[in-house]
């Protein structure tokens, strides 16, 4: 069976002072190949932890992750990561950053070059091969990060708040790019965000996580991602049901945040 399944995952961090944090409790999820899933939740609810487990950087205390009938044991090239910021290699130029994955696989130099050229064109950075990454703007850097991830041709792309550090306008453009890449490449994508709008716009399925312990609170199936592939995202926002869904999710998140605040005050 192709696809990704997350089976009854629990994650407990034992702290040095003897106490422990239940970051995730009994999280299960099945994702079909080619789906784009967005994950929302108040900060500290375990989103990053979940993604790190899928990526193989963390082993869950209970449960497992299965990708294409293989249990995930550690990081691997079939699961690509895009981070918020600072994950590019500053000592390499754009070309070498994007070619990193193919190079690890032992691809020939000329093949690498072609691949990089092609991907940079797709993300809108044609002719930027020789630029140093620290010369690029934040948005351009994230384009490079996307290209680097795609260069490895992973089955699943995991994104942890990839657009979180960008300004609103750049962010909007990048959201369009994510949808475009999703459609063109047919990759399975899990995208974490703390922006409700972004989650509603980009997620075929949208998961709302609840904190303490982190668990799936609610799941939505949404049409907007499919719409956004052929339409300007601003138009999508005018579509039927968009505002209603967004406001509903916003109020759920608000409630959770307030509960967290209340608990903090009690302590």
Ligand X SMILES: Nc1ncnc2c1ncn2[C@@H]1O[C@H](COP(=O)(O)OP(=O)(O)O)[C@@H](O)[C@H]1O
Q: Residue 83's CB: how many other CB atoms inside 10 A?
A: 17
Cα 227 to Cα 68, 70, 223, distances in angstroms: 28, 33, 6
- Listed in sequence order, the residues at least 6 apart from 251 whose beta carbon sits closer than 8 Å to its beta carbon are none
Contact call for residue 49 and Mg ion (CB under 5 A) = no
Among 35, 38, 48, 49, binds Mg ion (CB under 5 A): 48
Pinpoint the alpha helices (H) of 19-93: 47-55
With CB under 5 to 8 Å by kind, the binding choice for 44 among other proteins, Mg ion, ligand X, none is: ligand X
Pairing of strands 4-14, 20-31: antiparallel
Contact call for residue 115 and other proteins (CB under 8 A) = no
Only segment of 35-43, 82-90, 177-185, 229-237 that touches other proteins (CB under 8 A): 82-90
Only segment of 12-20, 80-88, 189-197, 253-261 that touches other proteins (CB under 8 A): 80-88
Contact call for residue 111 and other proteins (CB under 8 A) = no
How near is the Cβ of 54 to Mg ion at its closest, in Å?
Answer: 14
How near is the Cβ of 48 to ligand X at its closest, in Å?
Answer: 3
Binding site for ligand X (CB under 6 A): 13, 15, 21, 23, 41, 43-49
Asked if 200 contacts 241 with a C-beta cutoff of 8 angstroms, the reply is: no
- Helix and strand numbers (H, E) in the chain are 10, 10
With CB under 5 to 8 Å by kind, the binding choice for 46 among Mg ion, other proteins, ligand X, none is: ligand X
Contact call for residue 77 and other proteins (CB under 8 A) = yes
Cα 189 to Cα 91, 155, 226, 252, distances in angstroms: 28, 9, 14, 24
How near is the Cβ of 74 to other proteins at its closest, in Å?
Answer: 8
With CB under 5 to 8 Å by kind, the binding choice for 166 among ligand X, other proteins, Mg ion, none is: none
- Listed in sequence order, the residues at least 6 apart from 84 whose beta carbon sits closer than 8 Å to its beta carbon are 160, 161, 162, 164, 165
The residue (of 18 and 86) whose beta carbon lies closer to other proteins is: 86
Asked if 157 contacts 149 with a C-beta cutoff of 8 angstroms, the reply is: yes
Among 8, 30, 32, 57, binds other proteins (CB under 8 A): 57
The residue (of 96 and 195) whose beta carbon lies closer to ligand X is: 195
Among 86, 130, 169, 267, binds other proteins (CB under 8 A): 86
Per-residue mark of binding to other proteins, 130-159 (x: CB under 8 A): --xxx-------------xx--x-x-----
What ranges make up the beta strands (E) of 179-258?
188-192, 205-210, 215-221
How far is it between the farthest Cα atoms of the chain? 62
Measured CA to CA, the distance from residue 165 to residue 82 in angstroms comes to 13
Under the rule (CB under 8 A), what is the footprint of other proteins? 52, 55-57, 74-77, 79-81, 83-91, 100-101, 104-105, 132-134, 148-149, 152, 154
């Amino acid at each position: 069976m192709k696809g990704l399944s997350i089976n009854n995952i629990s994650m407990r961090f034992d702290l040095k002072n003897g106490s422990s944090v239940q970051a995730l409790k009994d999280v299960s999820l099945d994702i079909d190949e080619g789906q784009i899933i967005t994950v929302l939740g108040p900060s500290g609810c375990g989103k990053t932890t979940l993604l790190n487990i899928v990526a193989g950087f963390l082993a869950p205390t209970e449960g497992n992750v299965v990708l294409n009938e293989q249990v995930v044991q550690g990081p691997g090239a079939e699961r690509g990561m895009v981070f918020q910021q600072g994950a590019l290699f500053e000592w390499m130029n754009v070309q070498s950053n994007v070619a990193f994955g193919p190079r690890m696989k032992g691809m020939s130099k000329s093949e690498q070059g072609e691949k990089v050229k092609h991907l940079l064109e797709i993300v809108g950075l044609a002719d930027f091969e020789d630029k140093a990454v620290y010369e690029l703007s934040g948005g351009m850097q994230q384009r490079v990060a996307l290209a680097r991830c795609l260069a490895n041709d992973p089955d699943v792309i995991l994104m942890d708040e990839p657009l979180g550090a960008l300004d609103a306008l750049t962010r909007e453009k990048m959201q369009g790019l994510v949808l475009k890449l999703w459609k063109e490449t047919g990759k399975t994508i899990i995208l974490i965000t703390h922006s409700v709008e972004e989650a509603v716009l980009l997620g075929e399925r949208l998961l709302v996580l609840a904190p303490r312990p982190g668990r799936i609170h609610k799941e939505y199936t949404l049409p907007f991602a499919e719409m956004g592939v052929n339409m300007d995202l601003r138009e999508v926002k005018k579509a039927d049901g968009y505002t209603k869904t967004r406001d509903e999710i916003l109020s759920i998140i608000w409630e959770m945040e307030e509960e967290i605040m209340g608990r903090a005050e009690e302590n």
